[in-house]
Amino acid sequence: MRKRVKQVIAGAVAALMAASMIGCGGESDSSKKSPDDQITLKFSFDQGVGEATQKIVDQYNASQDKIKVETVLLPQDANQVHDDFVNKLASGDTSVDIMGLDVVYIAEFASAGWLMDLSDELDASITDTMLEGTVEGATYEGKLVAAPWFTNSSVLFYRQDVLDQLGAEVPTTYEGWMELADQAVGINGVEYGADFQAAQSEALVCNWVEYVWNNGGDVLDEDGTVVINSANNLEATNIMKKLVDQYAPEGVTTYTETESEQVFKEGKCLFIRDWSGFWSSGQDEGSKVTGVIGATTLPVGPSGEESHSCLGGLDLVVNNAISDGQKEAAVEFIKYMVSADTQKEMTLISAQPPVVKEVYTDSEILEEIPFYEDFYGVILGGKSRPKSPQYAKVSDAIQRNIHQALTGEVEVQAALDTLQEEVEELSK
Amino acid sequence: MIGKKKRYGSLEKTEGRDAWIMMAPAIIVLLVVAVYPVLRTFWLSLHEMVLTDPGSGYPFIGLKNYLEIFNDKRALTSIVFTLKFTIATVSLELLIGFTAALIMNKAFKGKGLVRAAILIPWAIPTSVSALMWKFIYNDQYGLFNDILCKLGVIDGYKAWLSTADGSFMALVITDVWKTAPYMALLILAGLQMVSEDLYEAAKIDGANVFQRFFYVTLPCVKSTVLVALLFRTLDAFRVFDLISVMTGGANGTESVSIYAYSNLMKFLDFGYGSAIAVLIFAVVFIISLLYMRVLGDQITDM
């Protein structure tokens, strides 16, 4: 009898443990419908724009009953956000419906088949209101696979007070800035002429391509041929290296946006190249340079004529694996987010540049953010980084080789030659 | 079952069978959670699988990925760096850990407190301590620069994480700071098992401090030390979060794990990335086997 009881208990426990494993799996489907047929959408993006977006989302949820949007925040690191999305989308996960994706990853995600084709839903009536560069960046193989949400480009911020004291004009060339930097050291706490981001990261790619473009060169020419080790680019990279060696803080090759902004806010730098959002964050509490920041376009090199800045920003993408009902709701939400009114609201509370053109010339906006008047010109001159499904590898090649050139580990010419070879390999 | 005449007789066999039934759920869970992923990674490594190219159909290519590893300069550089890092950190940790253990073995006031406090670096998650040390090494306001300057060792603030040697040194220091306490505690456990009688006998025979150390202490703690070394070597070889947070793999500090991660998550090359991961697994396995060889039967005597 005891033996029998023991066997039964053993069998029951085994069965229970086996049954509990079923609880480990199970899909997390977000298409929950509450009794009154409300659809829930999960919207995931990085927390750099967290607060502002949350306000907009709350407004949307309050304004109608059909769709409820829930936000899922991620850390403010493009790589981490990318990896998180890859994890989900590669396994066909449907727990996230809409994502805020960095513009450089659009081609990669689209070629893997993870993004819903929005060409039919978002027709010309919507895309014509947007900046051309952003719509182009959201297109892959002729299909619109993303909805531009907000854009960004870099700006040269400088110490207006130092320039006033020296009675100097705002320089437009790198040489001009270097000359000014020699005079400016010691004035009002300035120790370094230049400040920017040269850590081995995506930020370095953005910085470097700007030197390249502003010196009349490029990474790929119109036919897509790799033109990295041209004479123009060699000159441009040498200028960047000179700034790193002589004018920037010693640790600039370990700086991403955070560290570089910190040094400028301490009042130690003459200028900083940073994203446009620094206009407001650079003057917040604790900053020693509030009220003395000026903004201008990036300087050009000796062989360059036009100033370009690197385009960034986030696009809204829809997970291709979710159900049709979810997709419809997602498109509804996207249309709301890209409408002129919402874009204006978003810009007012977040200082993130909108993609809808008319917002830039809106009087309320110009009152709040007067620097958008000049900035509109800057953003029209914005260029996208090379678009390719292999962008991750191209970016990685640029990051490694240029970083080695800037730290002096490899000669600049040798680094550009190696980079030329590596990118050519990838383009095959 | 009752009433049936048992064919196989002995009590041992019945108990054995019951034991298997009891263990079955746990074994199944282990197989699913531990063995299956390894097998699947190995299976993936035999295919060409780049996620951004779903049209390729992910064909089976046999061992081509592994051949590619040997032709890949970047992979070989990362292996060399990882080995350098492993040897540097494990030897330093052994030295410092052993010394600390010998000191803590003596009875002194506050011994209990010291033993608890020494574990704090180990208790802080690696990512957190890596970030903390990154600020310490900062070139503008870092503590490291400040102290060295005040002591007169260097004349100006240096950007430690900007150079290959500086980064290597920074990573080694942080890793040793974090894990030497762990080694110290493991070795301390071994030291405590050495009987006082042996030391007394040695003293009577006229052995001095060094002879007592080499002929009594070392042989007795050999197995403990080897186990501690085994854990540390395996961990050091698989280093990832420390490097990822501090340098991101820049300045020649890319370890094998970081390279595998880049291939898998950044380039979405699951075939090649899996091959590198299997390589790490193989090396770690071989290192374990070597250590087991040296330990021999001693491990069951512990």
Q: What angle do CA B244, B249, B253 make, to 5 degrees?
A: 115
- By CA distance, what is A110's nearest residue in B? B52
- By CA distance, what is A108's nearest residue in B? B52
Q: Which range is least confidently modeled, A237-241, A409-413, B7-11, B80-84?
A: B7-11
- Does the beta-carbon distance from A250 to B266 stay under 8 Å? no
Question: Which of A102, A254, A399, A407 best probes binding to B when mutated, by most B CB atoms within 10 angstroms?
Answer: A254
Q: Residue B1 falls within a domain, yes or no?
A: no
Please give the average per-residue pLDDT across A320-329, as a whole number: 89
- Does the beta-carbon distance from A200 to B53 stay under 8 Å? no
Q: What angle do CA A330, A336, A341 make, to 5 degrees?
A: 165
**Res A83 pLDDT > 90:** no
CB-nearest to A10 from B18, B140, B250 is: B18
What's the confidence (pLDDT) of residue A32?
Answer: 47
For A201-231, the pLDDT digits (tens) are 888 999 999 999 999 998 988 777 889 989 9
Share of chain A above pLDDT 90, in %: 30
Q: Confirm or reject contact between A409 and chain B (CB < 8 A).
A: yes
Radius of gyration of chain A measured on its C-alpha atoms: 25
Spatial CB neighbours of A1, under 8 Å, sequence gap ≥ 6: B2
Q: Please, what is the average pLDDT of chain A?
A: 86
What's the confidence (pLDDT) of residue A367?
Answer: 84
What's the confidence (pLDDT) of residue B4?
Answer: 54
What's the confidence (pLDDT) of residue A35?
Answer: 46
Asked if A423 and A228 touch (Cβ cutoff 8 Å), the reply is yes
| CATH code, domain carrying B223 | 1.10.3720.10
What's the confidence (pLDDT) of residue A220?
Answer: 84
* Tokens linked to B125: 């998650």
- Does the beta-carbon distance from B267 to A259 stay under 8 Å? no
For A12-52, the pLDDT digits (tens) are 877 777 666 665 544 444 444 444 578 889 999 887 777 88
Q: Confirm or reject contact between A357 and chain B (CB < 8 A).
A: no
What's the confidence (pLDDT) of residue A26?
Answer: 45
- Does the beta-carbon distance from A251 to B161 stay under 8 Å? yes
Asked if A192 and A249 touch (Cβ cutoff 8 Å), the reply is yes
- Does the beta-carbon distance from B268 to A112 stay under 8 Å? yes
Q: Residue B213 falls within a domain, yes or no?
A: yes
CA torsion sign for A385, A391, A392, A397 is negative
Residue B91, amino acid: S
Q: Residue B231 falls within a domain, yes or no?
A: yes
For A374-420, the pLDDT digits (tens) are 788 778 878 888 887 788 889 999 999 999 999 988 999 999 999 99
What's the confidence (pLDDT) of residue A285?
Answer: 80
For A274-300, the pLDDT digits (tens) are 988 888 788 878 888 888 888 888 999
Please name the residues between 163 and 202 in chain B that touch chain A, using a CB distance below 8 Å.
163-164
Share of chain A above pLDDT 70, in %: 95
* Cα separation values, A168 from A76, A78, A164, A222, Å: 37, 38, 6, 39
Q: How many angstroms away from the CA of B134 is the closest CA of chain A?
A: 10
Q: Residue B3 falls within a domain, yes or no?
A: no
Share of chain B above pLDDT 90, in %: 36
The domain containing residue B271 runs over which residues? Answer: 74-301
What's the confidence (pLDDT) of residue A81?
Answer: 84
Q: How many angstroms away from the CA of A2 is the closest CA of chain B?
A: 11
- Does the beta-carbon distance from A253 to B162 stay under 8 Å? yes
What's the confidence (pLDDT) of residue B102?
Answer: 87
Please give the average per-residue pLDDT across B103-132, as a whole number: 87
CB-nearest to A389 from B21, B52, B159 is: B52
pLDDT band at B26 (very low <50, low <70, confident <90, very high): very high
Q: Residue B226 falls within a domain, yes or no?
A: yes
Q: Residue B117 falls within a domain, yes or no?
A: yes
**Res A348 pLDDT > 80:** yes
A-B Cβ pairs (cutoff 8 Å, strict): 103
Q: What is the Cα A120 distance to its own chain's centre?
A: 26
CB-nearest to A392 from B22, B252, B267 is: B267
Please give the average per-residue pLDDT across A184-193, as a whole number: 89
For A125-176, the pLDDT digits (tens) are 888 888 887 888 888 888 899 999 988 888 899 999 999 998 889 999 999 9
- Does the beta-carbon distance from B266 to A79 stay under 8 Å? yes
What's the confidence (pLDDT) of residue A31?
Answer: 44
Q: Residue B47 falls within a domain, yes or no?
A: no
Q: Residue B21 falls within a domain, yes or no?
A: no
What's the confidence (pLDDT) of residue A34?
Answer: 47
Domains of chain A, start order: 39-151+312-378 (3.40.190.10), 153-310+385-427 (3.40.190.10)
What's the confidence (pLDDT) of residue A30?
Answer: 42
For B218-245, the pLDDT digits (tens) are 888 888 888 889 999 999 999 999 999 8
Orientation of helix B36-45 relative to helix B270-295, angle to 10°: 130
Q: Which span out of A291-295, A305-309, B275-279, B289-293 was modeled with the highest average pLDDT?
A: B275-279
Burial call A187-221: b when 16+ CB within 10 Å, e when fewer: eeebebbbbbbbbbbbbbbbbbbbbbbbbbbbbbe
For B245-257, the pLDDT digits (tens) are 888 888 889 999 9
Q: Confirm or reject contact between A14 and chain B (CB < 8 A).
A: yes
Domain count, chain B: 1
